[in-house]
Structure 1
Amino acid sequence: MKRKEFLQQVSLGLGSIVLSGGLLSCSKGKENGPDENPIEGNPIKTDGTLRIGVITDVHKDYFPYADEYLEKFITAATAANVDFIIQIGDFTYPHFRNDGFLSIWNSFDGLKYHVLGNHDMDTSSKADFLNYVDQRDLGAHYSFDANGFHIVVLDTNFIKQGNSYTPYNARNYASHPNNEIGFVSPEQLEWLKNDLAKADKPTVLFSHQHLNGSAGNSQEIQTIIREENKKGKKVIASFSGHNHQNWLVEVDKVSHIQINSSSYFYVGPNFPDVTGRFPENVENNYSVMKKSAPYDDSLFAIVDFKGPERIIQIEGRESNFIAPSPYDLGYYTYRDQMSPSSNINNRTIKF
């Protein structure tokens, strides 16, 4: 299978930034240049710099080369000397058969964080998954400071029926319509208000479902962000996965960044099965691939947050669809940032 190296930008290369700031402690931009629109008000500032590795939707139980693709990420993150790595959900089922995959993740010699994705609870509870990945103490939603920035992780995996919020558990969400799933619990919303009010650093959010439309009560979350930012811009960006896409949307001067799946784009049940990309025994064991457009190389990002320059710099990766692509098959006849992509774009975003 074809493998490509990281895309290079003139101003950014792996290992090219010397990090400053303290230790970590728990508790639209333009693709080719910064957005020139001035920041209104008195934004929260930092002199810190932070470098992280981000990956999402590896889908160990759906994708035959998940181990190889995760290992490439760990190798690149180590070479880039990141401050921590984070995966944004749909990682693996908490089952002993996946212990080897988890050991690849744990081979990173540094801080590691998990965001819950809906498929992580396909065979188990949230507690089961958190125990499996050794994140029971942090839990499903949490925050911490890192080198002059504040990081917030949200759990967008609740079912809402009336005033009742039920955690995802053993794929219980699958029997509910879209307008009842992907919610943040009321208790978590209250926690978010309080956490943002106390934060004194530029803040970055991470969630599986994106907060500019996909999460069931994303409008409530945007209201919380908007009201806090009126006091002086504090929340600067929100990173998500789930959609297996590659886009950037700005809402109220907050950059919402969709990180593409490491592994594939899910075409869906409305199109014919595509076979022949993998050996027959592989296709039989990974039936989702017949409804998907897999990538021929692992996708992930190295992200720099530069306080003095007030920019977020994303170094993405480029791959190809394993033929035939959704475009070869005529499933898509146009291309924009919401169309299927086998890349994660390089971006420089002003905050």
Structure 2
Amino acid sequence: MSGAISRRHFVKTVLVTGVALQIPGYTLSMFSQGAKTTKIGIITDLHHDVIHNGLERLKVFVDHMKSVKPDALLQMGDLAYPDVKNKAVIDLFNNAHPVRMHVIGNHDTDGGHTKEQCIEYWGMPARYYTNDVNGIRFIILDGNEKGPAYKSGYPSNINQVQADWLEAQLQMADKPVVVISHQPLAGALEVDNARQIQGLLSRYSKRILIAINGHTHIDSQYFIDGVHYMHINSASYFWMGGKFKHNSYGTQIHKEHPYICYTCPYKDALYTTLTVHPSSGIITIEGCRSEWVGPSPEELNYFNKDAMALPTEIVPWINKRHFKHKVRNI
């Protein structure tokens, strides 16, 4: 299990905090001449079955996307249990855009729900798949697999069958690639076989624009062996756990939604837009800011063993970021 980054690995890893970043590689040459700018609206970790106002948060996202006019929408897992009681949430997302992508999160199968139900209720083609949008190939992974290191709890692994499939997709890719997963492939709470997957992605880094994930509810970014990895913050809250149980809302809300007491909620929904500008070689992550409801993790003296940092990564916002390709002759 590699939830906490080893010192040896951390020395080889750059935790990026700036906003003007150079992404090495040749991926710009994979775009067709005159390729258009592509926008992807992203939301992750809504946790409608935990937070009391998940539907309202998703409506804010959908309304914002109407003005952004993205080319596709992406939700990166832990959206809402795939059953009829959550039909309003699922339909709101699915009806907001003709092109949408879903990722299965670890909590989407809580309460006896299954991956097969996620595929059916959300309208996914499979639990891992590809989708091409405007000359960009999006590779969506399922990180909810058991590996050799699995003992208990939520599995977090990309098994060998899926890893072989991923490598085949990267080998045959004739378009620049965005890799998408719920669990991180690098950094805090990364999948159990993160070194294997990072090595695989690094072999094809020339074809990869960025790898993005949800799950951690933090705002963070890493650059490892030619690949940028970014953690997209939750739409709703940071999970604190039982040692930090407290009330952020009124008594009735906590009575009806008992798991909120284990969180530090964000006042406003967080979401972002990933925009790829082939003409300039720029990738932009739109910023989105909120504030804590009730005491912050710092005020509660929060600590963790999973290499998540206060106050730079555990924050109620998504930082605006720019990634710029170096154009190199092939």
What TM-score do the two structures reach when normalised by structure 2?
0.85
Say whether residues 1:139 and 2:113 are aligned partners: no
Say whether residues 1:202 and 2:191 are aligned partners: no
State the Cα distance separating 1:332 from its structure 2 match.
6.0
State the distance in 2 between where 1:90 and 1:43 align. Answer: 32
State the distance in 1 between where 2:17 and 2:132 align. Answer: 27
Say whether residues 1:312 and 2:312 are aligned partners: no
Say whether residues 1:160 and 2:135 are aligned partners: no
State the distance in 2 between where 1:109 and 1:56 align. Answer: 16
Say whether residues 1:116 and 2:104 are aligned partners: yes
State the distance in 2 between where 1:42 and 1:299 align. Answer: 29
The answer as to whether partners of 1:118 and 1:157 remain within 8 angstroms in 2 is: yes
Change (3 A) 1:312 1:41: closer
Q: Residue 227 of structure 1: which of 176, 197, 203 is its match?
A: 203
Q: Residue 125 of structure 1: which of 114, 133, 144 is its match?
A: 114
Bigger helix share: 2
Partner of 1:245: 218
State the Cα distance separating 1:336 from its structure 2 match.
4.4
The answer as to whether partners of 1:34 and 1:311 remain within 8 angstroms in 2 is: no
State the distance in 2 between where 1:55 and 1:256 align. Answer: 17
The answer as to whether partners of 2:141 and 2:180 remain within 8 angstroms in 1 is: yes
Amino acid at match of 2:44: T
Say whether residues 1:73 and 2:48 are aligned partners: no
Say whether residues 1:218 and 2:194 are aligned partners: yes
Amino acid at match of 1:326: P
Partner of 1:176: 152
State the Cα distance separating 1:41 from its structure 2 match.
6.6
State the Cα distance separating 1:149 from its structure 2 match.
1.4
Partner of 1:295: 266
Say whether residues 1:328 and 2:299 are aligned partners: yes
Q: Residue 100 of structure 1: which of 76, 88, 102 is its match?
A: 88
The answer as to whether partners of 1:299 and 1:319 remain within 8 angstroms in 2 is: yes
Change (3 A) 1:97 1:40: closer
Amino acid at match of 1:303: L
Change (3 A) 1:84 1:72: same
Partner of 1:192: 166
Q: Residue 21 of structure 2: which of 35, 48, 58 is its match?
A: 35
Partner of 1:274: 246
Partner of 1:90: 78
Amino acid at match of 2:246: V
What TM-score do the two structures reach when normalised by structure 1?
0.80
| Structure 1: segments with no counterpart, 5+ residues | 1-27, 163-172
State the distance in 2 between where 1:40 and 1:346 align. Answer: 22
Which deviates the most, 257-266 or 140-149? 140-149
State the Cα distance separating 1:222 from its structure 2 match.
1.3
State the Cα distance separating 1:220 from its structure 2 match.
1.4
How many matched pairs? 302
Q: Percent identity?
A: 28
Partner of 2:5: none
The answer as to whether partners of 1:240 and 1:258 remain within 8 angstroms in 2 is: yes
The answer as to whether partners of 2:129 and 2:140 remain within 8 angstroms in 1 is: yes
Change (3 A) 1:298 1:177: closer
RMSD (CA atoms): 2.3
Q: Residue 98 of structure 1 aligns to a residue in which SS?
A: helix
The answer as to whether partners of 1:241 and 1:259 remain within 8 angstroms in 2 is: yes
State the distance in 2 between where 1:68 and 1:177 align. Answer: 30
